[in-house]
Structure formats: structure tokens, C-alpha cells
Structure 1
């Protein structure tokens, strides 16, 4: 029988691991990298909110973290749009980051 608190730790850790694996394995496209990072952020948010719910304090910290994750996603999408407009696609192999 699985304890509920151990499942609340195990599932987000699997999400974080799968997001890191996706970031490393499918890093050819920028959109795949951004989706993997957002999946990792969702796992970290789930882990943090479940642990803070056990302590029953600092709920505002999870809201602050969620705000930063949304800002990170918006910044990543902005960078993706700029890269696609300047180079035509989002493949890392098609452009040099040292060129302007």
C-alpha cells in the first residue's frame, strides 16, 4: 500500500526528471526546450505546494513562484518569436548565437 504523502513527493520528482530528460534529449528545437523547462517548473511547483501545504504556512511563496514561472514562459516565447523572425526556424543548428 502506497502512502499518500510519498506519492505526493514521487510524482513531482518523476515530472522533474522527465522534464530534465526531455530538455537534454530533445534540445535540437527551441520550442521543445521551452516546453521541457515549463514541465519541470510545473513539477517543482507541485512539489513545493504539496510540501508547503503540509507545513500550512507560506502560501504566498508558491504564488510568487508561479508568477516567476509565468514570466519565464513569456520571456521564452518572446525569444522564440525573435529567433523565428530573424532566422526562419527554431533549430539551434541553423544559426550561430555569436552573430547579431
Structure 2
């Protein structure tokens, strides 16, 4: 098993772990946002590894990292807004019929 295959396995395993946490721990918005950021960072490293192995330019990864940062900032703004209006980030306390 080559070193690149071992790195691919580790990165795919980290993405799978992030997806598992995203699907199983849905009680709090902060846990969901943290697992999304973990998935995005794992996919970013997977993209960097793939682009460096194939000899492509790594410039495309900057666009991906920019969108991941924007997603994180949007999620944090949503978290702050929800905590200010509802008092906590627990999904069980939200009533979607009430504004």
C-alpha cells in the first residue's frame, strides 16, 4: 500500500466520520455547524492531495476554501441570530409555526 493510498483512506475516513456526526448529533446547531466545517476541511485536504498528485494547479482550491469560509461565517451568523431570539441553539425548542 503506497503512502498516497494511505492518505486517501485517512481522508475518506475523516469525511465519513464527519458525515456520521452530522447525521447522528442533530440536537444542537453548534454541533451541526462544527461537523460541517470538519467535512469541508477534510474535503479541502482531499482536493489538495488529488490536485498535487495529478499535477494540476492548486489555485482552484482557494476558491473552495473561500466558499467554505463564507459558509462558516453564514452559519455563525445564523447561530448568533437564533441564540439571541430563542435563548439557546437546541433544535427541540424551536417552533416553526411561530415567528
Q: TM-score per shorter chain, which class?
A: over 0.9
Distance 1:98 1:56, change over 3 A: farther
Q: RMSD across aligned C-alpha pairs, in angstroms? A: 1.0
Unaligned 5+ runs, structure 2: none
- How many equivalent pairs are there? 99
Unaligned 5+ runs, structure 1: none
User: What TM-score comes out, normalization by structure 2 length?
Assistant: 0.94
Deviations 1:62-84 (A, max 9, x none): 11100100000000000000000
Determine the structure 2 residue equivalent to 1:84. 83
Determine the structure 1 residue equivalent to 2:28. 29
> In structure 1, what is the Cα distance between the partners aligned to 2:22 and 2:96?
19
User: What TM-score comes out, normalization by structure 1 length?
Assistant: 0.93
